Amino acid sequence: MTEIFAFDTTDMDPDEGFALYGNLYASGADVERLSTPFFARVRSWQLDRSLLFAREFGGVRHSRGDRVDRDGFDHFVLHHVVSGELRAGRLGHPMAINPGETLVLDTRKPMESGATSVHLVTISLAREAMRAAMGNIDDLHGHRIGSREGALLSSLLRELVMQAAHLAPGAHAAVTRTLVELLSVAIHPAGPAGRSDFYRLEHARRDAARRLIEANVGTPNFSVQDIIDATGMSRAGLYRLFEPQGGVARYIQVCRLQQLRARLDDRAFDHQSLATLAPMLGFSGESHAGRLFKQAFGVSPGVYRAASIRGAQSPSVEMMTRRWDSSLMELR
């Protein structure tokens, strides 16, 4: 599994640590210090259409208020408490989430979370995956899953953190599908409604098309017709599936950018220039890849690679934030 970042305030001055922590979370939440001692240890990994976090923190509160209307976040968050107590929920109305329990939050709606001391597993899940699990997702914001109902889900989340460093990329899609199924069981133990079955089928079809696209982004002349021929979907059906991502062509472009970013982060590719990498990933040339990369990630490929090389020896909050923000693109 690809690690996005690791952050630990253990050896930092508390004031410096909190300032860096605030910068790390700045794009997604406002943070405020509580009266209890502050500390934070966070590790994050990227799965298929989901982000996994192992988190321990205390003396801090996170909130999303007015920013929900402007930051474009469009996914769900699950907070599963391993130990301690999380105070979280709708903004202004937090509740106690105890060990074994899981809280569901919608990033389109105001929320908060904080703790004196807590150890939790957090997963950010694409809206379409949540819809596949539940069908109707309108009333899920602030839903608390009890320890008994969510026992299988919590087992998966805890084990994912343990196995994160060893999980092969080819297993990511299967893990996300399993997560979707267990989330459905946790919220609807008696069985989901028929509408959920429809969305689950749509999710499986989209997943099959995605895997095909991701495996062929560097194939010359790879087209929509190739996807139709390989999957048996109609053209209209395929376009409908990828409408939330801005269309099939847009999704193919995002995949190419994500794979380019992954190579710039991989020291095994440092000997290959952008001019070499660009056509390997389906871009028309170096300038085409550079222009789209800067539009997506805010910096040129050369600047990104240089920062990544520096970060390999001395990880910076700026680099962590950039990787986190770019990973969130997959959830929109």
Q: In whole angstroms, what is the distance from residue 225 CA to residue 234 CA?
A: 10
Q: In whole angstroms, what is the distance from residue 55 CA to residue 75 CA?
A: 19
CB 120 within 8 A of CB 113: no
pLDDT of the residue at 237: 87
Backbone angles phi, psi at 109, to 5 degrees: -120, 150
Q: In whole angstroms, what is the distance from residue 167 CA to residue 74 CA?
A: 26
Taking only the tens of pLDDT, the chain with its 332 residues reads 678 888 999 999 999 999 999 999 988 899 999 999 999 999 999 887 789 999 999 999 999 999 998 888 999 999 999 999 999 999 999 999 999 999 999 999 999 999 999 999 999 998 888 887 777 888 899 999 999 999 999 999 999 999 988 888 778 878 888 888 899 889 887 666 555 667 777 777 888 888 888 888 888 778 888 888 888 888 888 888 888 778 888 888 888 888 898 888 888 898 999 999 999 998 988 999 999 999 888 889 998 888 777 765 556 777 777 777 777 766 66
Q: Tell me if residue 229 falls in helix, strand or coil.
A: helix
Domains of the chain: 1-192 (2.60.120.10), 216-332 (1.10.10.60)
State how far the alpha carbon of 210 is from the alpha carbons of 17, 39, 69, 214, 254, in Å. Answer: 39, 39, 29, 6, 11
pLDDT of the residue at 86: 98
pLDDT of the residue at 315: 60
Residue with tokens 């969510």: 150
Q: What's the order of all strands across the beta sheet hosting 111-115?
A: 30-33, 60-64, 111-115, 86-90, 93-97
Q: In whole angstroms, what is the distance from residue 283 CA to residue 266 CA?
A: 19
Q: In whole angstroms, what is the distance from residue 222 CA to residue 218 CA?
A: 8
End-to-end CA distance of the chain: 20
Q: In this structure, what DSSP letter does residue 158 have?
A: H
What is the helix (H) or strand (E) element at residue 145, kind and residue range?
Answer: strand 143-145
pTM value is 0.80
Residues in the chain: 332
pLDDT of the residue at 206: 82
Residue with tokens 């950018």: 257
